[in-house]
Amino acid sequence: MDYSALKKQFDRDGYIVLDSFFEAAQVVHLDGLIRRHYGTDPELQHSSEFLTRSQTDVIPWFPQQQGVRDFDVIQDNPRLNLITDTILGDDWYGQYCMVMFSRPGSQGQAWHQDCPPEHPQRFNLNRLVYTRDVDEETGGQVVVVPGSHRMGLLPPGDPSADLNGQVLLRPRQGTLICLHGHTWHRVLPIKATVRASINYRSAVAGTPEGVTDVCVYRNMRYRFSTASVIEERTV
């Protein structure tokens, strides 16, 4: 793997996609755990205000906080850590492992930045692992605007409308996506199957642990810890 080329690509685009980074055998077990945890009709956890206003339809799960250690093997994977060193430098820490689950027919996620971009050096790195293919048939493709991690605030506007320059990503089983938290991104609506991603969030040492507490949408800033809209955004 040409690490210096990957670093350049990440700095330019705000994301990199590495297909077949993990073997199927490494992710099918986790896929099974995720299906079992959520069952067929899991309850939504966020407040209804958040779900309506954010146009975001995901149910988070932090397996390690419940003592489920099966997810550690990816977190401890030497190649994943090498990629992370390449992107963040040697001094970084793993924040947590978060599974994000979407029910069939749900709306995915509207455009957002995981954390406010006012401090360009203060950001989370999403290390997203997919346990099943995501494509036109399943829906739930990831949409990004390349280079937007250097463009400041996501512009206010329609939470889910197309943006100039957007690119559709179709991760497959075993794909790793490294995504800068300031990059403008969204998830398209889900079709007939369930969808899940596993996110091993990390950050440069010194970045506050709660850096992703406030998320920027096109119509608001939302603080998860208090479940409140802290800023209305209008065009």
The conformation of residue 145, written as its DSSP 8-state character, comes to -
Residue 73: which of 129, 35, 19, 2 has the closest Cα?
129
In degrees rounded to 5, what are phi and psi of residue 79? -70, -35
Q: Does 55 bind ligand AKG (CB under 6 A)?
A: no
| Residue 90 CB, nearest approach to Fe ion (Å) | 25
Binding ligand AKG by CB under 6 A: which of 80, 83, 99, 100? 100
| Residue 114 CB, nearest approach to Fe ion (Å) | 4
Q: Which two three-digit tokens encode residue 12?
A: 């330019």
Q: Does 57 bind Fe ion (CB under 5 A)?
A: no
The conformation of residue 139, written as its DSSP 8-state character, comes to B
Query: With contact defined as beta carbons under 8 Å apart, do 131 and 173 qualify?
Result: yes
Q: Burial, 48: exposed, middle or buried (Cβ in 10 Å; 0-12, 13-18, 19+)?
A: exposed
Query: Which residue type is seen at 152?
Result: G
Q: Which two three-digit tokens encode residue 161?
A: 């409308």
Q: How far out from the chain centre does Cα 31 lie? A: 17
| Residue 58 CB, nearest approach to ligand AKG (Å) | 7
Burial 141-162 (b: 16+ CB within 10 A, else e): bbbbbeebbeeebbeeeebbee
Question: What, of Fe ion, ligand AKG, none, does residue 84 touch, CB below 5 to 8 Å by kind?
Answer: none
CA distance 139 to 118: 32
Question: What, of Fe ion, ligand AKG, none, does residue 197 touch, CB below 5 to 8 Å by kind?
Answer: ligand AKG
Binding Fe ion by CB under 5 A: which of 114, 144, 190, 218? 114
For Fe ion, the nearest residue by Cβ is 114
128 bridge partner residues: 177, 199
Q: Which stretch binds Fe ion (CB under 5 A): 47-55, 59-67, 87-95, 111-119?
A: 111-119
| Residue 58 CB, nearest approach to Fe ion (Å) | 9
| Residue 88 CB, nearest approach to Fe ion (Å) | 17
Question: What, of Fe ion, ligand AKG, none, does residue 187 touch, CB below 5 to 8 Å by kind?
Answer: ligand AKG
* CB of 13 or CB of 114, closer to Fe ion: 114
| Residue 159 CB, nearest approach to Fe ion (Å) | 13
Q: Residue numbers of the site for Fe ion (CB under 5 A)?
A: 114
Q: Residue numbers of the site for ligand AKG (CB under 6 A)?
A: 100, 109, 114, 126, 128, 142, 185, 187, 197, 199
